[in-house]
Amino acid sequence: MEQRTYNQYCATARTLDLVGERWTLLLIRELLTGPKRYGDLQASLRGLGTGLLAARLKHLEREGLAHRVVLPPPARTPAYALTEAGEELGPAILQLARWGLKWALGERREDETFHPGWAVLGLRACFDPEAAAGLNAVYEFRVDDELFHARIDGGAVEALHGPAQHPDATVTISQEAFLRLTDQSLTLAQAIESGTASASGDPQALRRLGGLFRLPPPRTRTAHRTS
């Protein structure tokens, strides 16, 4: 497959030559949360055919943005991981996520797929380091069958897939309620009050949870009218 190019000697254009094709940035989004097997990527990116997935992964390998690895025991299976260059795209993708939460997300459309695990990157995008000052805690989130956790330490966050070994606080919530948290039509306190969510663990860690991850108020895109 011939790679398209803008033919411009410009850093932005050169970057878009590498990651501007459809699905490429979403593949990098998936790999930002850790190595993924081919089947994991297929499951997370519904609508991406096997042929195109293979082509995009080959492109990332060829351009030095991803490479093949073998997962540690007990998995011991081949997977894909980002290189140093691929990892450095993380801040740009997080900024796109922040912009999207404010200007693009809105309500979920009927034909749109959703995976609660995408919130792992969302936790990083919405993290407020000032609100985490002096906090050292691990939060585990259980959304139906998906588990992920966030480790807060020194005003920094590390969000990962899977259960936490020793969580200080645990939040269990239905996927439907979690979606409403995402579109900001529901708060965690309201979900707990209604019974669609529950929280347990250290009271101080739970009290501070509400301020750690701040979704930007949604805005409506409008064109400026000229008189």
The pLDDT tens digits of the residues spanning 73-108 come to 887 899 999 999 999 999 999 999 999 999 999 888
CATH label of the domain that carries residue 63: 1.10.10.10
What are the backbone angles phi and psi of residue 210, rounded to the nearest 5°? Answer: -60, -25
165: exposed, middle or buried (Cβ count in 10 Å: 0-12, 13-18, 19+): exposed
**pLDDT the model gives residue 226:** 63
Q: 3-state class of 70 per DSSP?
A: strand
Q: Note whether residue 194 is domain-resident.
A: yes
Question: Positive or negative, the Cα torsion across 183, 184, 185, 190?
Answer: positive
**pLDDT the model gives residue 223:** 77
Same domain (yes/no): 56, 126: no
CATH label of the domain that carries residue 126: 3.30.1050.10
**pLDDT the model gives residue 227:** 57
Distance CA 62, CA 203 (A): 49
**Res. 1: pLDDT tops 70:** no
Residue 82 contacts residue 65 (beta carbons within 8 Å): yes
**Res. 4: pLDDT tops 90:** no
Q: Note whether residue 110 is domain-resident.
A: no
What are the backbone angles phi and psi of residue 197, rounded to the nearest 5°? Answer: -150, 160
Q: Note whether residue 106 is domain-resident.
A: no
What's the predicted TM-score (pTM) here?
0.89
Give buried/exposed letters for 90-119 (b at 16+ CB in 10 A, else e): beebbeebbeebeeebeeeeeeeeeebbbb
**pLDDT the model gives residue 225:** 66
Average pLDDT over residues 36-46: 94
Bridge-partner residues for 140, per DSSP?
Answer: 149, 170
Residue 217 contacts residue 185 (beta carbons within 8 Å): no
Residue 162, domain extent:
116-212
The pLDDT tens digits of the residues spanning 114-153 come to 999 999 999 999 999 999 999 999 999 999 999 999 999 9
The pLDDT tens digits of the residues spanning 123-133 come to 999 999 999 99
Q: Note whether residue 1 is domain-resident.
A: no
Q: Note whether residue 3 is domain-resident.
A: no
Q: Note whether residue 144 is domain-resident.
A: yes
The pLDDT tens digits of the residues spanning 162-212 come to 999 999 999 999 999 999 998 889 999 999 999 999 999 999 999 999 999
DSSP states of 164-188: -SS-SEEEEE-HHHHHHHHTTSS-H
**Total domains present in the chain:** 2
